Amino acid sequence: MNQQEYSQPLFGQPLKVINVGLELFYNALLAQKADVVQVDWQPPAAGDQQMVGLLDRLLD
């Protein structure tokens, strides 16, 4: 059995979520009194796919 230690435990502690995308899921988590923050996601580089690739290569 793999006894690997997880870099970030997921179970057994309060879940803290970052929601990237649909408000629906953010609202559902708020309704459950979950610890959640919302990212108002927008397409990067104004949706220009080529530019996205270029930017990513520069930043990573």
Partner 1 sequence: MPTELIIRRNEYQDSMVLMQINHKVAALPGVSRAAVLMATEPNKQILADYGFTSPEITGAKTSDMVIGLETNDDATLNEALELIDRLLVEKVKTRGRGRRFATLAAAAEAVPESSLVLVSTPGQFAAREAQRAIALNKHVFIFSDNVPLDDEVALKKAAGEKGLLVMGPDCGTAIIDGKGLGFANRVNPGPVGLIGASGSGMQEICVLLDAMGLGISQAIGLGGRDLSEPVGGATCRRALEMLAQDPASACLVVVSKPPSPKATRDLLDWASRSGKPVVLCLLGLEPATAGLELPSGVHLAASLEQAALMVGKLLGKGPAPWRREEIQTELDRAAADQARRLASGQGNLRGLFSGGSLCYEALALLRGRIGPLFSNLHLDGVENASPGQTPEGHLLLDLGDDEFTMGRVHPMIDPSAVAQRILSEAGDPQTAVVLFDVVLGHGAHPDPASLLVPALKAGQALAAEAGRHLICISHVCGTEQDPQELARQTQALQEAGCLVCASNQQAVQLAESILTENEL
Q: Could you give the CA distance from residue 44 to residue 14 in angstroms, rounded to a whole number?
A: 31
50 binds partner 1 (CB under 8 A): no
5 binds partner 1 (CB under 8 A): yes
Interacting positions 10-39 with partner 1 (CB under 8 A): 10-32, 34-39
Shortest gap between Cβ of 54 and partner 1 (angstroms)?
13
User: Can you say whether residue 6 is alpha, beta or left, with left for phi > 0 and alpha for psi between -120 and 50 degrees?
Assistant: beta
Residues at the contact surface with partner 1, assessed by CB under 8 A = 1-2, 4-32, 34-44, 46-49, 52, 56
